[in-house]
Amino acid sequence: MLPKSLRCIDVLAYVDDVHPKFNRAKALRFLATTDIDLKNRVKTLSKGMVTQLHLALVMALDVELLIFDEPTLGLDIIYRQEFYDRLLTQFYDGSQTIVISTHQVEEIESLLSHLIFISHGKIVFSTEMEALQQRFVEVAVAAENYAAADGLKPIYTRATLGGKDYLFELEEGERGVGDRSRYERLGRVSTPSVADVFVAKLGASHG
């Protein structure tokens, strides 16, 4: 929580004084690309601007481990995309570990190397992204193949225009370069998104 009575420039000065690994110049470069006036007090900023100020402070830390909890909350879609672009180009150099906790999984899917799903404070699913692509398959199934698809015990289905999408978790012998012909006979096969797997794994217990 940022002190609402402080000016933005004073917030930077305070963090610079108390945190030995804070790079003030880097924070200023980030803020220069926003609409934030450093002479304004925190209490006058919009929700999105407060989020941007938080991000500027965090991304200016020279640390090996960085943890974000819903980092783009309050930002519109353009600023959200810019944040992740800058996270990779201005902060990450391959030596740090970045942990991102978010419900907007579709926005970070391309950034991930590992994936963890948490429900009610417990880890319910954990895998490397490469393994995820080998472990699940999504099939667009036409009506005439519903019965056959249901017989293969999908973990999730959803209605689409002209059919249904079925999500299957593959058996050990089917993963990687295993035989997927029984799924290909049902319809068009693709790799499901992280969001699809998230809904399939946590949908029943969500809430």
Residue 11 has pLDDT above 60, yes or no: yes
User: Mind spelling out the 3-state secondary structure of the chain?
Assistant: CCCCCCEHHHHHHHHHHHCCCECHHHHHHHHCCCCCCCCCEHHHCCHHHHHHHHHHHHHCECCCEEEEECCCCCCCHHHHHHHHHHHHHHHCCCCCEEEEECCCHHHHHHHCCEEEEEECCEEEEEEEHHHHHHHEEEEEECHHHHHHHHHCCCCEEEEECCEEEEEEECCHHHCCCCCCHHHHCCEEEECCCHHHHHHHHHCCCCC
Q: What is the tens place of the pLDDT at every residue in 81-107?
A: 878 887 887 777 788 888 999 888 888
Averaged pLDDT for residues 13-27: 93
Kindly report whether the global pTM for this prediction surpasses the value 0.75: no
pLDDT for residue 94: 80
Residue 16 has pLDDT above 50, yes or no: yes
Instruction: State the Cα–Cα distance between residues 171 and 155, nearest whole angstrom.
Output: 12
Q: What is the tens place of the pLDDT at every residue in 32-54?
A: 988 999 999 999 998 888 888 98
pLDDT for residue 207: 45
pLDDT for residue 73: 79
pLDDT for residue 145: 94
